[in-house]
Amino acid sequence: MARKCKGCGAVLQSENEAVPGFIPKSVLEDDTKKDIICKRCFRIKNYGSYEPVDITDEDYLKEVKKVVTESNVVLFIIDLIDFDSSMDKVLLDIVRTRPIIAAVNKIDLLPDKKHPSEIANWVKKRFAEYNIIPFDIAILSVKDDYGVNGIVRKLSYLFPDGAKAAVVGVTNVGKSSLINGIIGGKSKVTVSKYPGTTLKALSVAHPDKNHIFIDTPGLIPKGRVSDMVCEECNLKLVPSKEISRKTFKIKAGKVLMLGGLVNIQIINTGEVLPIFQAFAAKDVTFHQTNEIRAAELIERKAGEFVMPPCEKCRDVFYERKFEKRRFTVNEGEELFFKGLGWISVRRGPLEVEVILPEGMEAVVREALVAPKKY
Ligand code: GDP
């Protein structure tokens, strides 16, 4: 049987360095070496380098479908901070007929500490919008080892003879991290901040329970602005530390820039000023200005003022077409920008005209971080 890379699941080969799974012939033919990883995984693990590969969405989806069909439960992993990107319709359609445990990860990044049951209720309602009722909802911070053992206990209860769990989700939600958290030990799958690290399905057995976890390649979802910038900016938009939150009370005509990625112009006409909070990774500049100055900044590609995009990728980024969209966001609702963050309305309604790159998706949703009731 062909040997597979323990990091990304690609079949190991020593013919072509440009193809996934490459390792030098001497290593491949050395039978004494067990858990070998390919050159690409070695570089990601040891040097943190970005190693893109050419694999189509169709290849990914085929692999995911196969794994889901062969499993008896799906762990659908979601990044709480980029929730609406994680709820990718293509992936949800693949898993919707299977028993699903929704695993909501990265709660450590939320600045407002919320009770897990509150988050779970919100998640349940969000799944209902897609006509899916998950079997169970697990709230996690794999990074802080919170909730990881709970998933194993749950599987042991539901599948006393052993679960075959497909671990599914878009890129960067923490699939590989969760599997490593569950199995512990040394032989780990490759975790990286770069999308598309896991290339092929990769089975990992739990050390003492009879469960098998299958890490699947992540799909890069539609509409995420973090996938439209360079790798360095992408890393900045996928936060590793608690995200920032800032409150704004801005007059009509003024603009809030979320980095140089999105301009939010307030167009309220009433007497009462709307109040809202913006949430995004710490490296995203919140810049308040007026319409003319905001347009000038974009025109001048003023990278150092409003980041991301950075110096390196801003020329390419601003070559895109931009579009204007209007939104009315009521108190208790949020305007969510995929791959970036959200604004949460404290006193509304907030009426805005948003300029965003074509292809980036924005949605109005019920607030995850709702205004406090006094
Ligand atoms: P995958 O593409 O879904 O397999 O995601 P990875 O497991 O490779 O993780 C993507 C990024 O998210 C990595 O930088 C991880 O360190 C980070 N990450 C994973 N879980 C957590 C978590 O619970 N909290 C935080 N803050 N970061 C996490």
**Ligand 1 centroid vs 239 CA: distance in angstroms?**
9
Q: Which residue has the higher pLDDT, 353 or 294?
A: 353
Pocket test for ligand 1, best of 40, 91, 105, 172 (most atoms within 8 A of CB): 172
Q: Which residue has the higher pLDDT, 116 or 217?
A: 116
| Average pLDDT over every residue of 331-345 | 97
DSSP 299-322: HTT-TTTS-SS-TTTHHHHHTS-E
**Ligand 1 centroid vs 367 CA: distance in angstroms?**
24
DSSP 192-225: -SSTT---S-EEEE-SSSS-EEEE-PPB--TT-G
Residues 49 and 193: their CA atoms lie apart, in Å, by: 10
- pLDDT of 374 strictly over 50: no
- pLDDT of 285 strictly over 80: yes
pLDDT on residue 295: 85
106 in contact with ligand 1, CB cutoff 6 A: yes
Residue 59 binned pLDDT confidence (cut-offs 50, 70, 90): confident
Give nearest CA residue, ligand 1 atom 14. Answer: 193
pLDDT on residue 349: 94
Pocket test for ligand 1, best of 85, 177, 232, 242 (most atoms within 8 A of CB): 177
Ligand 1 atom index nearest CA of 192:
8
Q: What percent of the chain has pLDDT over 90?
A: 55
As given in the structure block, the two tokens for residue 90 are 């293509």
Residues 82 and 109: their CA atoms lie apart, in Å, by: 11
> Of 338, 300, 359, which Cα lies nearest the Cα of 81?
338
182 in contact with ligand 1, CB cutoff 6 A: no
Residues 104 and 271: their CA atoms lie apart, in Å, by: 40
pLDDT in tens, 31-41: 887 778 888 77
pLDDT on residue 334: 97
192 in contact with ligand 1, CB cutoff 6 A: yes
- pLDDT of 259 strictly over 90: yes
- pLDDT of 330 strictly over 80: yes
pLDDT in tens, 76-130: 999 999 999 999 999 999 999 999 999 999 999 998 888 999 999 999 999 999 9
**Ligand 1 centroid vs 193 CA: distance in angstroms?**
7
177 in contact with ligand 1, CB cutoff 6 A: yes
Residue 47 binned pLDDT confidence (cut-offs 50, 70, 90): low
pLDDT in tens, 143-178: 999 999 999 999 999 999 999 999 999 988 998 889
As given in the structure block, the two tokens for residue 288 are 């308040």
**Ligand 1 centroid vs 29 CA: distance in angstroms?**
33
